Amino acid sequence: MTALGSEAAPSPRRTPLYEVHQQLGANLVDFAGWLMPLRYGSETAEHKAVRKTAGLFDLSHMGEIHITGPQAADLLDYALVGHLSKVKVGRARYTMITAEDGGVLDDLIVYRLAEDDYLVVANAANQGTVLAALTERAAGFDARVDDRSADYALIAVQGPEAVRILAPLTDADLSEIRYYAGYRHTVAGRPVLLARTGYTGEDGFEIFVEPGTEALHIWDALVKSGEPYGLTPAGLSARDTLRLEAGMPLYGNELSAETTPFDAGQGRVVKFEKDGDFVGRAALLRAAENDRPRKLVGLIGHGRRVLRKGHTVLCDGQVVGAVTSGAPSPTLGNPIAMAYVDGEPDITAGTFTVDVRGRTEEVDVVELPFYKRDR
């Protein structure tokens, strides 16, 4: 029974690949209202597989919102910080949606599928916020905002062997698909949007499957094709350490409604040169012109103790900031973290430490990212 006046929390949603995750013995957790695989076995092994061979991810929790109509491009130029009307058909752009005060509501990838057809991909936890903001901002534009999240499944193949695994299954010439491009193709005989994008710091592809019920067929085909190359199913834990090594911000950690793109070192995504106004323009212009009182930096621990979100960063014993994300790095072999620190710290002067549950751990302050793949 539930208490008088209370309602039971809704059960987390299941992706079309839920039964596969069960069969593989995944540790399933509620993530942004979805039952998602945290790990299948060793998250370190899954992480290393992506760096050395390839990993296979279910990302069907992400939000997919279509913007269509004669003024779809104009709407997105107004609603987002990027210059989406300049994106060519078949290409994609990393961008953000902010509030009027410049605070980040979400970071997004936007694909231009046709002249008047865009796909906006939002983080699962922010899908409702992004949908509501786009719908509100569409007033006065000859454009339509459609939430199509329930229609899609999303599978990612990431790692150095991604091309060789995918090539036998698709009609696409993968050498012709550049980074941040996405085209209609087939994979395992099924129509998909095939995009060369990802969140791991490695080469790879994201496969948007519509209808989502076809995801199992494509997943199985990828598993079979990837077997000779060591393709490994990977969960959210590995995805998090991979993006951390690659210095990629995570909403709720490095990005929030209290941070601007400039705080997070992502000011390049804000395009002041585009024609007309856009939501947050005035506040972001002020943010771009100030001395940026805090900066996002990387930390590499000297010891073995893990640096975690919320831990205090000190320089010569004085508090200068806080950790936003941290974990052991399977690639570097040290604890790593991202942190906001005050001002523009001289990383060559002073002793930087992190307070880990009352014990100070010495760290090196470095520019991001921690890891870059060989091109």
Q: pLDDT 10s per residue in the chain (375 long)?
A: 344 555 667 899 999 999 999 999 999 999 999 999 999 999 999 999 999 999 999 999 999 999 999 999 999 999 999 999 999 999 999 999 999 999 999 999 999 999 999 999 999 999 999 999 999 999 999 999 999 999 999 999 999 999 999 999 999 999 999 999 999 999 999 999 999 999 999 999 999 999 999 999 999 999 999 999 999 999 999 999 999 999 999 999 999 999 999 999 999 999 999 999 999 999 999 999 876 678 899 999 999 999 999 999 999 999 999 999 999 999 999 999 999 998 766 766 778 999 999 999 999 999 999 999 986
Write down how long the chain is. 375
Q: What does the domain layout of the chain look like in residue ranges? A: 13-60+152-245, 63-140, 291-375
The whole-angstrom separation of Cα 280 and Cα 291 is: 19
Give the separation between CA 182 and CA 180, rounded to whole angstroms: 7
Tokens 């000011």 locate to 267
**Given the structure tokens 């005989």, which residue do they identify?**
189
Report the topology of domain 13-60+152-245: Gyrase A; domain 2 (3.30.1360)
> What is the CATH architecture assignment of 63-140?
2-Layer Sandwich (3.30)
Pairing of strands 55-58, 232-233: parallel
Fold of 291-375: Elongation Factor Tu (Ef-tu); domain 3 (2.40.30)
What is the number of other CB atoms lying within 10 angstroms of the CB of residue 320? 19
Q: In the beta sheet, which residues pair with residue 180?
A: none
